[in-house]
Structure 1
Amino acid sequence: MNSDLFKGPFASAKDQYTFDSTNGAAAALETHWLTFFTEADIKTIAATGINALRIPIGFWAYDNDHTPYIKGADAYLEKAIGWARNANLKVWVDCHGMPGSQNGFDHSGQGGSVDWQQKSNLEHSISVLQTMATKYGAMEYADVVVGLELVNEPISYGNNKFSTTQDWTKDAYAAVSAAAANKNMKIIMHDGFQGAGKWTDVASTLNKGGARNFGVDSHLYQVFNDEDNKLDQKGHISKACSWSRNLKSANDQFPVYVGEWSAATNICVNPDGSTTAGTSCGKEGCQCQSEDFDKWNEKMVEQVRRYVEAQLDVFEGSTSGYFAWSAKGPGGWGFLNGIKKGVIPNPVTDRKFGGQCGGK
């Protein structure tokens, strides 16, 4: 998320685990926490019409025993919650990294092996969530903290069984619900990359008597597999529009959120405005989205804006809410960058290319 940190003495660090194991990490983290995301950023986000923030944090902020992880991030989450309250924004607290790593990706805290579903790690995860629920589910936070996400992006292959994830979710939900004084706080689970529809039985078990306290988070990108990377921008827009049916079908039964989406696709734009799939092109005047964000031309901005607007139309019409990944990501991955460049509408309800998915 911030490549500038991974230089000098931290050049060999691959994730937070190895970063925090490096001499000088505490001071570097403190500087990062102080400067990377500020109250001014929250005010800018609020001015676009966005009304909520999904804020990720690792388990080690609450229990770093027997790990090299450095505590302290929760103090800055506290600041962000206060800033959000001042800006009339709501907050989801998202447990983004779990003991043993739920996916082996660097953003879980430690890349590599996936050992989350070992019994001790699953139990440890629930213990951490109880701590979080006791704090953020207290009534003093009820005006601003509206959701707690149990775990971000657990994979459903290799060492992780999807059935185990779902069974654990029921136990975690019960523990979090009991610990939270605010009984209106949503308890959200990532779909394990299986789609929200695969969670209907779990949701019906947990949302008794017509309640909608348990919700599911789906992350929708079109940049991480070969099938998507063969599409031109019209193909990407068509696929985004096709998400609507399954999202709405599930959302009619229980809350469904798109907790992550982005403007990114691997396309190139020709001088005549037509697009092709890829990350390079030889035609004179052709530009690819993989090029330096600051150098995107008007035709690229228009094509990315078309894709963004199609996604927003789907999410507005078919889900209970959405969050861009991320507020301050690099280049086109940053919501604030996108607002400044014009690839994301401001306000977010503005449309230059309405009706792409058949609506008005």
Structure 2
Amino acid sequence: MASCLYLLLAFYITFSQAQPFKAVNLGNWLVTEGWMNPSIFDGIINKDLLDGTHVQLKSTKLQKYLCAENGGGTSLVANRSIPSDWETFRLWRINDTYFNLRVLNKQFVGLETQGNKLVAVSNTAGDPETFHIIRNTNDPTRVRFQASNGQLLQAQSETSVTADYGGSVSGWEDSDPSVFIINIVRTLQGEYQITNGYGPDKAPKVLQDHWNTYIKSEDFNFLSSNNISAVRIPVGWWIAHDPTPPKPFVGGSLKALDNAFTWAEKYGIKVIVDLHAAQGSQNGNEHSAARDGFQEWGDSYIQVTVAVIDFLAARYANRPSLAAIALMNEPQAPGISLDTLTKYYQAAYEAVRKYTQTAYVILSNRLGPADPTELLSFASTLNLVAIDVHYYNLFWDGFTKMSVQQNIDFIYNSRSNDLRKVTTTNGPLSFVGEWTAEWNVKGASKEDYQKFAKAQQEVYGRATFGWAYWAYKCASRHWSLKWNIENNIIHP
């Protein structure tokens, strides 16, 4: 009799968690994304020169761009009229004014071993690869670079870039070979950037204040009152890189996550814990804690990433609000192969199952050039798993040309078909883990937004594990579920 009761209880727990969720992502809380709350970066000096900022440098005298020939491995030149990848440098921030510069092939710009010539040959950054960036107070796009030998860089000719300028620094004229125009072509505003940007003295307080105020108990009350049945919580760089308390960043982040479970249980909401920022960065984006935009995650990072999943599963497996653990957010193809990803998913799945047989394990599809059904056969060998797909009517040029009705038709036709491909009868469940009411339509009315959101709710409601809106709060209002609910755009 006892065994029968146990089976019935296990069935009830599993069945109740398998109901399609109406969920929301608590984005920009334990994972920083600057575009969602730009003001959090306001206190950083030289906040436009954070880690990972992609810059191009134009000699005012030559009117040509600096170039790491062949993407690195040799000398720097100053002979390009139009900048591209070889002419783009990625900043590593040492402090407010000192930086390293990384090139396409991942080497660092520095002084040659003997002499003052600029080369990009080192795979590590030390004193010879460190530069003091001096900005013109009246025009911060005009800069000089002081090398570790104390001398300024100069572009003497198209083939000679050296650190030996001996002229006057009182002016910033175009004729001065030590003056460069710095053109910022990409910025990253994630956890690494905010932490290293503020530095070890200020960053702990900034982040603690953010974690303590951005999401509170009353937010869970609001969600529960508006028919949201689950939250997907992206966890970020500090937990992923060393989850062991009581280190100040890790401890504060974990305390916030602990609070979320408590609040969820108070208001009858389930929790999906999502590993958003794996060591090495699985996609090179700011929300995967990339320092400079390079995607480094691969086989050598599997063991440490599984250890993070093991830690999370051990910590939260017995919490009644735990619905699922998502093993990795948005791995990017082709940088991550299917073989490497499934190897990691298998090991991480087993780590979760050491602690719980009832929580779901969520496997994110690869972004980029990958078959959306490629995980189905693998996932079918596992128990209680869901395939995570993300659908946005953004990030593709074709959407910019679509009208309101064409966007809505795309949801009912193309997206419906996409979802059908990953929704199986006896295999893994399907989960639309990210979607939003924002789009590229200009001048759309409130009614247009309502129809667009309704179409997505209808279609994504067919996902057998459910959907999760991105995000709960956001400075861009149509990205914010809270704003959309309060302004009668979305009715969960």
Q: TM-score range by the shorter chain?
A: 0.7 to 0.9
CA positional deviation for 1:317: 2.4
2:461 counterpart SS class: helix
Q: Distance in 2 between matches of 1:191 and 1:27?
A: 36
| Mapped partners of 1:176, 1:59: distance in 2 | 20
SS in 1 for 2:468: coil
The whole-number CA distance in structure 1 between the counterparts of 2:405 and 2:238 is 43
Measure the CA separation in 2 of the matches of 1:256 and 1:131. Answer: 26
Structure 2 unmatched runs, 5+: 1-35, 51-188
Larger helix proportion, structure 1 or 2?
A: 1
Following the alignment from structure 1 to structure 2, what is the Cα–Cα distance between the partners of residues 195 and 301? 36
**Correspondence for 2:455:** 310
The whole-number CA distance in structure 2 between the counterparts of 1:205 and 1:230 is 42
Q: Does 1:152 align with 2:326?
A: no
**Residue 18 of structure 1: CA displacement?**
2.4
Q: Does 1:76 align with 2:256?
A: yes
- Paired letter, 2:480: G
Match runs of 1:58-137 below 5 Å: 58-61=236-239, 63-64=241-242, 70-71=249-250, 72-111=252-291, 112-119=293-300, 121-137=301-317
Q: For residues 135 and 32 of structure 1, what CA distance do their matches in structure 2 show?
A: 23
* 1:256 maps to 2:430: yes
**Number of the residue aligned with 1:20:** 195
Contact 1:101–1:109 (CA under 8 A) maintained in structure 2: yes
Look up the SS of the partner of 1:205 in the other structure: coil
Paired with 1:195 and 1:52, the residues of 2 have a C-alpha distance of 28
Q: CA shift at 1:110, angstroms? A: 2.1
Contact 2:325 2:360 in 1 (8 A): yes
Q: Which moved more, 1:315-324 or 1:50-59?
A: 315-324
Task: Pick the aligned partner of 1:32 from 190, 201, 210.
Answer: 210
Deviations 1:166-202 (A, max 9, x none): 2221222122222x2x211001011112465221111
Mark the structure with the bigger radius of gyration. Answer: 2
Q: Which of these residues, 196, 206, 219, is aligned with residue 382 of structure 2?
A: 206
The one-letter code of the counterpart of 1:334 is: S
Q: Match of 2:452, as an amino acid?
A: Y
Deviation, structure 1 residue 233: 1.4
Tell whether the 8 Å contact from 1:196 to 1:247 is kept in structure 2 after alignment: no
Residue 445 (structure 2) pairs with residue 324 (structure 1): no
Higher mean alpha-carbon deviation, 9-18 vs 89-98, is at: 9-18
Larger strand proportion, structure 1 or 2? 2
CA–CA distance in structure 2, aligned partners of residues 20 and 113 of structure 1: 18
- Verify the 8 A CA contact 2:195 2:203 in the aligned structure 1: yes
Tell me the distance in 2 between the aligned counterparts of 1:254 and 1:46: 27
- How far 1:165 moved relative to its partner? 1.2
The two structures have a TM-score, normalised by structure 1, of 0.80
Partner of residue 56 from structure 1, selected from 211, 234, 248: 234
What's the CA shift string for 1:303-352, capped at 9, x where partnerless?
A: 0110100000011124321110000122111100111122112xx1xxxx
After superposition, the Cα gap between the structure-2 partners of 1:150 and 1:246, relative to the gap in structure 1 and judged at 3 Å, is same
Q: How many residues align?
A: 304
Distance across 2 between alignment mates of 1:69 and 1:104: 26
- String of CA shifts for 1:78-113, please: whole Å, max 9, x gaps: 111111111100000111100000111001122511
The answer on 1:240 being equivalent to 2:416 is no
Amino acid at match of 1:320: F
Percent identity (aligned): 27
Cα offset for 1:130? 0.7
Q: Distance in 1 between matches of 2:232 and 2:296?
A: 25
CA distance in 2, matches of 1:59, 1:15: 9
Match of 1:230?
401
For 1:345-356, list aligned pairs within 5 A. Answer: 345=491, 348=492
Matched, 1:183 2:362: no
Alignment of 1:334-345 (within 5 A): 334-345=480-491
